[in-house]
Amino acid sequence: IFHYIDNRRKVHKEAINVCQKILQQKPIDWKPIFRNNLSEPIHNVDMVVTVGGDGTLLQASHFLDDSIPVLGVNSDPTQAEEVLDGFLEDQIVPSKLSRISVSVNSKVLPTCALNDILIAHPCPATVSRFSFKIRGDDETCSPLVNCRSSGLRISTAAGSTAAMHSAGGFPMPVLSRDLQYMVREPISQGPAISRLMHGLIKSDQSMDASWFSKEGFVYFDGSHVFHTIQNGDTIEISSKAPVLQVVLPHLST
């Protein structure tokens, strides 16, 4: 195990070195920063390059609005140089990925999720009680669904291939503005209700949820960023958050 971890550390360090050498050869000003040192929103830059896995890009996304594109570099820094050159020469246009906006008791939370959110009790073995309905911009509503389960997961299109897919969800086109939701481990209440446990929140809709357990968290893109909720809180979820501009080579024109 130690050998594997040490090898991954060396690979990651080499990727950082390659990226730095690439940037040093370009007619641009740049500044390196470790992810653990991010604490304030990122402003006054033309582009952010993240070096690492998906978690590094996800963490950086929490500090970015919709005005700054991000390029994620994982295991192939050489491809990043091609993409960076294309961006600098205006040959590559960043793709706009949807994010999730969350309001608790009508107050918009400062964090937007790029992959997914999970609304659950802090203890995963605890049964939570909550209800939800889907509301359209025209104020039409779906039936109210009352749930007893281990939580509620909502994903973006980008996050639909992650935990949502592993739980039985379906992959979505990455540029879709819709959200996918799934009640996690529901206690069955009959076929009429079961069909409402998994579905879509369209771009012109939002989900209105009410939390009826003593404790709860809204987790953003994993377990590190969360917001506390309590009995009686109302939660609104939608894709009406600022998009994230991401340079995706296979979708660029």
Q: At a CB cut-off of 8 Å and minimum separation 6, what does 216 contact?
A: 119, 120, 121, 122, 128, 228, 229, 230, 233
Across the chain, mean pLDDT equals 91
Say whether both 53 and 137 belong to one domain.
no
Residue 137 lies in a domain: yes
Q: Tens of pLDDT along 56-65?
A: 999 999 999 9
> Rounded mean pLDDT of 165-190?
92
Say whether both 118 and 217 belong to one domain.
yes
Say whether both 132 and 179 belong to one domain.
yes
The pLDDT of residue 75 is above 70: no
Q: At a CB cut-off of 8 Å and minimum separation 6, what does 9 contact?
A: none
Domain count of the chain?
Answer: 2
Work out whether strand 179-184 and strand 198-201 pair parallel, antiparallel, or are unpaired. Answer: antiparallel
Say whether both 48 and 167 belong to one domain.
no
Q: Tens of pLDDT along 27-51?
A: 999 999 998 899 999 999 999 999 9
Residue 248 lies in a domain: no
Last residue of a domain, one of 58, 92, 126: 92
Last residue of a domain, one of 42, 58, 92: 92
Say whether both 136 and 224 belong to one domain.
yes
Smallest Cα–Cα separation from 155: which of 166, 144, 143, 141?
Answer: 166
> Rounded mean pLDDT of 144-160?
95
pLDDT at 45 (0 to 100) = 94
Last residue of a domain, one of 73, 92, 111: 92
With bands split at pLDDT 50, 70 and 90, how would you rate the model's confidence at 219?
very high
Say whether both 211 and 190 belong to one domain.
yes
Alpha carbon dihedral 222, 227, 229, 233, in 10-degree steps, equals: -110
Residue 97 DSSP class: E
Tell me how far apart the alpha carbons of residues 92 and 28 are, in angstroms, rounded to a whole number.
17
The pLDDT of residue 154 is above 70: yes
**Phi/psi-derived region of residue 175, left when phi > 0, alpha when psi is between -120 and 50, beta in every other case:** alpha
Q: Look up the CATH number of the domain holding residue 127.
A: 2.60.200.30
Smallest Cα–Cα separation from 173: which of 153, 203, 209?
Answer: 203
The pLDDT of residue 126 is above 80: yes
Which domain does 21 fall in, by range?
1-92
Question: Do residues 128 and 109 make contact, with C-beta atoms less than 8 angstroms apart?
Answer: no
Chain-centroid distance, C-alpha 204 = 19
Say whether both 106 and 209 belong to one domain.
yes
Say whether both 169 and 85 belong to one domain.
no
Say whether both 53 and 164 belong to one domain.
no
Alpha carbon dihedral 104, 229, 238, 125, in 10-degree steps, equals: -170
Q: At a CB cut-off of 8 Å and minimum separation 6, what does 138 contact?
A: none
Say whether both 20 and 128 belong to one domain.
no
Tell me how far apart the alpha carbons of residues 206 and 221 are, in angstroms, rounded to a whole number.
19
Characterize 178-202 residue by residue with b for buried, 16 or more Cβ atoms within 10 angstroms of its Cβ, and e for exposed: bbbbbbbebeeeeeeeeebbbbebb
Say whether both 230 and 126 belong to one domain.
yes
Say whether both 136 and 78 belong to one domain.
no
